[in-house]
Amino acid sequence: MENNDIIAFGNLFDRSLTEDNKLLDRIAVRDYIINAEIGAFQSERGKKQRLRISVVLEVELNTEKQNDDVDKIISYDTIIDAIKNQLLIERINLLETFAERIAAEILKDANAKRAFVRVEKLDRIPGALGVEIVRTSDDNKDLIAHQEQHNEILDAPSPFLVFITNDIINSNELVLWLDALERIKSPVVICVEGLEKSYAFSKNKMAQRRIDLLGIEQNAWLLAGKDERCVVVSTRTELDWAIKNHQISIWAPSKIVLDAVNKPISVSAIDLAAWFSSSFSGSQILILGKKMFKGFVNIKRVTDL
């Protein structure tokens, strides 16, 4: 059999055979160029770059095309939508991850048998940097099973969101507040302010954004160090597991904020908490502490036990 890459991305008249010499039809989207924020390097954050994507999808022979019925065949839009949808879910660091998710999405169709996916960055060097993968419908079965397990986690109950101000964190009443939160039937997720004394300042907005996020995370770890019932979570997977298992969690925001497609404009602690609550269908935020925050309607304040 000829090299798979030559077959998939070479001459359009080249065709492939399965191991049992069965001929498959092909659907192709080639040299599709989009702008997206993607990449693991810091220099790639906060800016979009051009990606060139080619997908060749092998499918079972379909007699419906003889009837000229577009509703009964895999459409080119299926491939294009798979590309676009992956970029809407979350910010992706690796081209390999992007290619894998595109292949997994289009291979969900029962008629799809094998997918060739090539993704290239066009702005990193004078030429192109890229990856190519080949995945089959059998490869996709394990991914679907993993996704079903992930969906079970996503079906967990909505969390009870709490914003704890520094006057509570640094008070002798902290343990009593945590005792009260532990008695709540819903899983608890705590958001915190940044450190009270943070003298770091940068004129660069992106650098200051990271500094502010790190200040919140340092405070999260300080709170966790005061009581072993509190566990710091920084990824969506950790958070989903914690919610499902009714764990008291403290949100460390950097990764989720930086990887978000629709990033919050402000990284002040209370603004982030409001943005964060929107990912849980706008769950109300309970604020523990005496500090006042203006402009927020979806909050409830408690200052006394």
Q: What share of the chain is helix, strand, coil (3-state, %, to 5)?
A: 40, 25, 35
Residue 10, Ramachandran bin (φ over 0: left; ψ between -120 and 50: alpha; else beta): beta
Same-domain pairing of 149 and 177 = no
Which phi and psi angles does 295 have, rounded to 5°?
A: 85, 10
CATH, residue 146: 3.30.1130.10
158 secondary structure, DSSP code:
P
Indicate the residue type of 178. Answer: L
Same-domain pairing of 127 and 177 = no
CATH, residue 214: 3.40.1160.10
Q: What is the pTM of this model?
A: 0.63
Same-domain pairing of 211 and 106 = no
Same-domain pairing of 105 and 148 = yes
The residues, any chain, with a CB within 8 Å of residue 122's CB and separated by 6 or more, are 33, 49, 50, 51, 52, 128
From residue 2, alpha-carbon distances to 15, 53, 54, 227 in Å are: 10, 23, 19, 62
Question: Dihedral angle at the C-alpha atoms of 246, 247, 253, 254, nearest 10 degrees?
Answer: -120
Which phi and psi angles does 290 have, rounded to 5°?
A: -95, -10
Same-domain pairing of 92 and 229 = no
Residue 205, Ramachandran bin (φ over 0: left; ψ between -120 and 50: alpha; else beta): alpha
- Is the CB of residue 25 less than 8 Å from the CB of residue 60? yes
- Is the CB of residue 103 less than 8 Å from the CB of residue 117? yes
Three-state secondary-structure class, residue 103: helix
pLDDT in tens, the chain (305 residues): 445 545 555 543 344 444 555 667 788 899 999 998 888 787 777 788 899 999 998 887 665 555 555 556 677 888 999 998 888 877 888 889 899 999 999 998 888 888 999 999 999 889 898 999 888 887 766 555 545 444 444 455 678 899 999 989 998 889 998 999 988 888 899 999 998 776 678 888 888 888 889 999 999 999 999 999 999 999 888 888 888 888 899 999 998 888 887 888 888 898 888 888 887 765 678 888 876 554 444 445 454 44
Same-domain pairing of 167 and 298 = yes
Three-state secondary-structure class, residue 204: coil
Same-domain pairing of 193 and 136 = no
Give me the domain span that covers residue 185: 160-302
Number of domains in the chain: 2
Q: Nearest-CA neighbor of 54 among 143, 110, 136, 134?
A: 134
